[in-house]
Amino acid sequence: SKRDTVRILIDELRPIKARYRVPDVVTEEPQCEHFNDIHIITLDIFRIFWKIFTHFDIFLRANNYNKKYKYLNRLCVSSGPSSIGADLCLHGFRNVYGLPEHSDNLQLRDTRDGEPYRLYNLDVFAYDLHSRLGLYGSVPLLVAHKADRTLGVFWLNASETFVNVQYSPTDQQVSLVQKVHPQTDVRWMSESGVIDCTVLLGPNPQQLFRQFAQLTGFQALPPLFALGYHQSRWNYDDEADVEAVDAGFDRHDVPYDVIWLDIEHTDGKRYFTWDPVCFPEPSRLQRRLEEKKRKLVVISDPHIKVDPDWSLYCEARDGGHFVKDREGQIYRGTCWPGDSSYLDFSSPETRSWYSRCFSLDKYKGSTSSLFVWNDMNEPSVFNGPEQTMSKDAVHSGGWEHRDLHNLYGFYQHMATAEGLITRSGGSQRPFVLSRSFFAGSQRFGAIWTGDNVASWEHLKISVPMLLSLSLAGIAFCGADVGGFFQDPEPELLVRWYQAAALQPFFRGHSAKMMKRREPWLFGDQVTAAIRTAIQQRYCLLPYWYTLFHQAHTAGLPPLRPLWVEFPREQNTFTVDHQYMIGGALLVCPVTEPGVREVKVLLPRSGEVNEPAGNTFYYETVVDFGVSSVQVPVFQRGGSVICRSVGRFSCTADLQQLPISITVALNSQGVAAGELYLDDFHSFRYRDTDQRGTFDCDTVVQSVTVLGVKIKPSAVTVHVSGSEDSSAAFQFIETGCMLTLSSLKLRVTTDWEIRIS
C-alpha cells in the first residue's frame, strides 16, 4: 500500500460456510496496488516471493493444520475443515520479537525443540515463567530486526493461533560456519478465519511503529491522573477503609491519584451496583476524593449474574445481549457471582447498550470522577474448557466463539471506553484498564499483565513482558507492583516500586488473602524508599506525558528496547533487563535480591550518568553501584528532559509546580527535546491547530546542562519583548555541570539562554 505495507488477503471462493473476517481492528482500509507475482505449487500450496529492500518468501496453505491443535476442546466440533496457515521466510534476520502475551524473554526463542507460541486468551492464575502458552491477551504481530532494517508481520486472525519460529543457522551452526546468511522461518497456524497478513516494511523501528498504528490505531492519550500512582486491593472493605487509606497517603506524604475497588464493592457480584452495607453512599465517597483531585476506579466484568429479580439481567436477556449456546439458548457458565451469562460484545447493539449502562442516571451512585476496570474478560468461565468459553458458543451473526475468541476482551474494552466518553457528552478522556486485549486495544486505554506473583522472578520477567507489549502497540501497560499473589519481602516490594515507577502504568495491587500492603506498613526505611520512588515518578510526569503524546500522534511507545534507539548495535538486540524511556533515559531496574552493584550496557552515542554527570562517549559496560533507594537511570547525550519541581499530593499539582530542565550535551555539544502540555483531561487538544492555543502559567525555574567542560564567564537570558538579564549560575567542574537557577521563564513564551 501507499503506507509501505504489503497485505495478503485470501478467502475461499466457495466455502462450505463463510469464513470469519476480523472487523473493527483495522481502523482504515489501506489503499493497495494489486500484486501479481504468485507461483502455484500444488492445489493447496502456493508461493509469493518478492524483493523490496530485502528478500521475502511466503508459502500459504489451507486445511492442513488440524492435527496441530493439541489444545483444542475435542467436544466442540467445527463446521468442517477450517484451519489455515502460512510459512514465512525472513531472509537476513536472526532476531524476532513480539507476539504478546507470554511470560518469556523479549527475543522469541527457536521453537523446533518445544511448543510453539500460542495466542489464545486465557485466565491464568500465577502463571508459569518462560512459557510459550497464551496468557490474557494476544497481539499477532511479529517484529524482525537487523542492523539495517526492521519489518513486521501482522497476522489478523482472532481464533486460536500457534506460531513456530526457527532460526537458521542455529547457534551451534554459527560457530562452525565462517560465512553464513541468516534467515528466520515463521509458521502461522490458525483454527479458522481467512488468511489476512500484512507485512510492515519499516525500514526503521520508528517507521514500523507508525505503520502499525496507522493500521490498528494510535495509543489513546490518557488523562494525566492515569499516569500517576494507583492504589488497589481485592478488596478495600468499606467506605471508611477507603477514606483511611486515602488519608494515610497524605499523612505519610506519599502522592497518589486513584484508589480502586474490586468485586466485593458490589451488591452480590452484580456489576453497576454497590454493597448497601459497606458502600451505602458511594457518591459522597467519590466527592470526598474529588475534593482532593483524586479518582475512584471500580471493576466491571463481562459476566452477568443470572438473577430474574435483577433489572439489568432482565434487560440484557430481553434485549438479546447474551452469547448463546449451540442449541440457541442463553450460554451459562460459572464465575464470581456463581451461575452467570456472558454479554455478546461482538454485537454493536450490545456494545451500545452496555455503554449506556455507564450513564450517570443509570449507574446509580456513580459520578464523573468514577472510572472503570475490565477484568475476567478473556472471557473467564470457571467451569469451561481451559476455564474459558466453549468454542461452539454462538455470537451475533451466527459466528462461533472459536472464530473470534481473542476479540472478546477487546470489544468489552471498546464498549466501556465509549460509555465513559458518552457519559461526559464526548468532552472528557476516559480511563479504562483491561486484562484481555487484542491488536488495537491501545485505542481504548491501558492493560496490565494479570495475576503475577510476589517473587523476584516475576519482577524480572515483567520487564521483557512490557517491552513485548510496547513493540506490539500496547504502549500503556504495567505489572502489579509487589505481585498480586503471595506476600513480598520488604526489599522485593521496594525494588518493584522502583521498577514500576519507571514503567507506563503504575499500580499496586494484591489479593484479599494477602497481607495489607499500603506503603507505610513496612517500617520507616521502606516507607521512605517507596516515597522516593513515587515522588520521582511524579517529578518525571512532564516527560511521561510528552511521550504519551508522541505515542498518540506518531505511534512511538514510551517504553523501548535498546535496539529501537540503537538499531545498528548488535549487542543490544537481545538485551531485555534494561530499556529506554523515550529516546532520552536509559533504565536498568534492580531485579535481584541483595544487589549493591549492577552491570549496565551503555551503547554508543554518549550516555550521561544523571546523578554525577559522568559522560561516556563510547560503547561500554559499567559497574554501577546501587543503594536501597537508587536504581541506574542514565540520560542520553543529545537529549533534554523536563521535570516538575516541588511537592506532589496528586497529578493535579503539576499545573501549579515549576519545571526544571536537564540538558545533556552530546559529543558535538548539541541537545534537543520536547515538552507537550494541554489541560490534561479533555479532548480539546484535538480542536486546535498544529501549534495549539493552550495557555498556562507553568514556568521554568532552573536549567541544568551536563557536559559543559569550561566554566562560563556569563549567562544571559533573553525573553521576547523584554530586556536581557543576567542569570545566576553554578558550575561544578568535576561533573562538567552548569546549573542556572531562579529563572521563572514561562513555557508559553519564546526565550533564549546565552552562555558566554
Tracing cell 494476544 back to the chain, one arrives at 138
Give the Å distances, CA to CA, from 217 to 155, 442, 472, 643: 16, 7, 12, 29
pLDDT at position 75 over 70: no
Q: Percentage of residues in the chain with pLDDT exceeding 70?
A: 89
Residue 157: which CATH number? 2.60.40.1760
Number of Cβ within a 10 Å radius of residue 2: 8
Q: Percentage of residues in the chain with pLDDT exceeding 90?
A: 83
Closest C-alpha to 532, from 631, 608, 609: 631
pLDDT at position 643 over 70: yes
Residue 618: pLDDT band with limits 50, 70, 90 = low
Position 247, amino acid: A
**CB-side exposure of 485: number of CA atoms within 13 Å?**
10
- The conformational region for residue 465 under phi > 0 = left, psi -120 to 50 = alpha, else beta, is alpha
Residue 720: pLDDT band with limits 50, 70, 90 = confident
Q: What nine digits make up the cell of 323?
A: 452469547
Number of Cβ within a 10 Å radius of residue 698: 21
Closest C-alpha to 366, from 261, 459, 448, 439: 261
> What is the C-alpha separation between 662 and 174, in angstroms, rounded?
44
- 3-state SS class at 243: helix
Closest C-alpha to 434, from 420, 418, 445, 422: 445
User: Which whole number is the average pLDDT over 28-49?
Assistant: 61
User: Which whole number is the average pLDDT over 517-524?
Assistant: 98
- 429-477 pLDDT, tens per residue? 999 999 999 999 999 999 999 999 999 999 999 999 999 999 999 999 9
DSSP character string of 254-275: ----EEEE-GGGSSSS-TT---
Closest C-alpha to 601, from 568, 631, 623: 623
> What is the C-alpha separation between 410 and 429, in angstroms, rounded?
18
Least confident segment among 22-31, 623-632, 686-695: 686-695
- 143-154 pLDDT, tens per residue? 999 999 999 999
Tell me which of 451, 480, 518, 610 is the catalytic residue: 451
- 216-262 pLDDT, tens per residue? 999 999 999 999 999 999 999 999 999 999 999 999 999 999 999 99
Are the CB atoms for 563 and 149 separated by under 8 Å? no
Q: What is the DSSP letter of 308?
A: T
Tracing cell 508459502 back to the chain, one arrives at 59
- 302-357 pLDDT, tens per residue? 999 999 999 999 999 999 999 999 999 999 999 999 999 999 999 999 999 999 99
Compute φ and ψ for 526, nearest 5 degrees: -70, -45
User: Which whole number is the average pLDDT over 618-638?
Assistant: 88
Position 449, amino acid: T
> What is the C-alpha separation between 150 and 208, in angstroms, rounded?
7
pLDDT at position 743 over 90: yes
- Respond yes or no: is residue 451 known to be catalytic: yes
- 3-state SS class at 476: coil
Residue 504 lies in a domain: no
User: Which whole number is the average pLDDT over 614-622?
Assistant: 67
> What is the C-alpha separation between 553 and 686, in angstroms, rounded?
11
User: Which whole number is the average pLDDT over 706-713?
Assistant: 92
Residues 6+ apart with CB under 8 A from 723: none
Average pLDDT, the chain: 92
- Respond yes or no: is residue 418 known to be catalytic: no
Position 207, amino acid: Q
> What is the C-alpha separation between 346 and 396, in angstroms, rounded?
7
Are the CB atoms for 440 and 410 separated by under 8 Å? yes
Residue 173 lies in a domain: yes
Which residues, in sequence order, are bridge partners of residue 98?
142
> What is the C-alpha separation between 279 and 301, in angstroms, rounded?
19
Q: What nine digits make up the cell of 213?
A: 498504528
Q: At what angle do helices 408-423 and 348-356 cross, to 10 degrees?
A: 40
CA angle 544, 590, 448 (to 5 degrees): 50
Q: What nine digits make up the cell of 302?
A: 463481562
Global pTM value: 0.94
- 476-495 pLDDT, tens per residue? 999 999 999 999 999 999 99
> What is the C-alpha separation between 9 and 5, in angstroms, rounded?
13
pLDDT of residue 755: 92
Closest C-alpha to 106, from 562, 483, 602, 601: 562
pLDDT of residue 576: 98
pLDDT at position 58 over 70: no
Residues 6+ apart with CB under 8 A from 32: 1, 7
Tell me which of 160, 275, 375, 607 is the catalytic residue: 375
Residue 15 lies in a domain: yes
pLDDT of residue 61: 54
pLDDT of residue 70: 37
Pick 105 or 36 by higher pLDDT.
105
Are the CB atoms for 59 and 149 separated by under 8 Å? no
pLDDT of residue 65: 43
Residue 190 lies in a domain: yes
Residue 26: pLDDT band with limits 50, 70, 90 = very high
pLDDT of residue 176: 56
DSSP character string of 563-620: HHHSTT-GGGTT--SSEEETTTEEE----STT-SEEEEEE-SS-EEETTT--EE-S-E
How many domains, the chain? 1
Number of Cβ within a 10 Å radius of residue 630: 15
> What is the C-alpha separation between 520 and 528, in angstroms, rounded?
8
- 166-185 pLDDT, tens per residue? 999 876 665 555 567 899 99
Residue 75 lies in a domain: yes
Least confident segment among 16-20, 480-484, 511-515: 16-20
H helix and E strand count, the chain: 13, 40
Pick 619 or 452 by higher pLDDT.
452
- The conformational region for residue 727 under phi > 0 = left, psi -120 to 50 = alpha, else beta, is beta
- 691-708 pLDDT, tens per residue? 556 788 999 999 999 999
- 90-138 pLDDT, tens per residue? 999 999 999 999 999 999 999 998 999 999 999 999 999 999 999 999 9
- 3-state SS class at 427: coil
Residue 179 lies in a domain: yes
Residues 6+ apart with CB under 8 A from 143: 96, 97, 98, 150, 151, 152, 208, 471, 472
Closest C-alpha to 139, from 405, 561, 554, 437: 437
Q: What is the DSSP letter of 224?
A: G
- Respond yes or no: is residue 301 known to be catalytic: no
Compute φ and ψ for 179, nearest 5 degrees: -120, 120
**CB-side exposure of 352: number of CA atoms within 13 Å?**
5
Closest C-alpha to 541, from 206, 257, 217, 219: 257
pLDDT at position 72 over 50: no
Pick 4 or 482 by higher pLDDT.
482
pLDDT of residue 80: 58
pLDDT of residue 71: 38
Are the CB atoms for 180 and 169 separated by under 8 Å? yes
Position 199, amino acid: V
Give the Å distances, CA to CA, from 756 to 91, 713, 717, 720, 727: 53, 6, 11, 19, 12
Give residue 125's domain range.
Answer: 5-203
Residue 210 lies in a domain: no
Tell me which of 4, 239, 257, 378 is the catalytic residue: 378
pLDDT of residue 171: 63
pLDDT of residue 552: 98
Tracing cell 500500500 back to the chain, one arrives at 1
pLDDT of residue 301: 98
Q: What nine digits make up the cell of 212?
A: 502499525
- 3-state SS class at 212: helix
DSSP character string of 333-400: EEETTEEEEEB-TTSHHHHHHHHHTTSTTTSTT--TTEEEEE-STTT--TTSGGGS--TT-B-GGG-B
pLDDT of residue 29: 78
Closest C-alpha to 141, from 155, 131, 128, 161: 155
Dihedral sign, CA of 385, 118, 161, 476?
A: positive
Tracing cell 494479570 back to the chain, one arrives at 450
> What is the C-alpha separation between 232 and 209, in angstroms, rounded?
32
Compute φ and ψ for 417, nearest 5 degrees: -60, -40
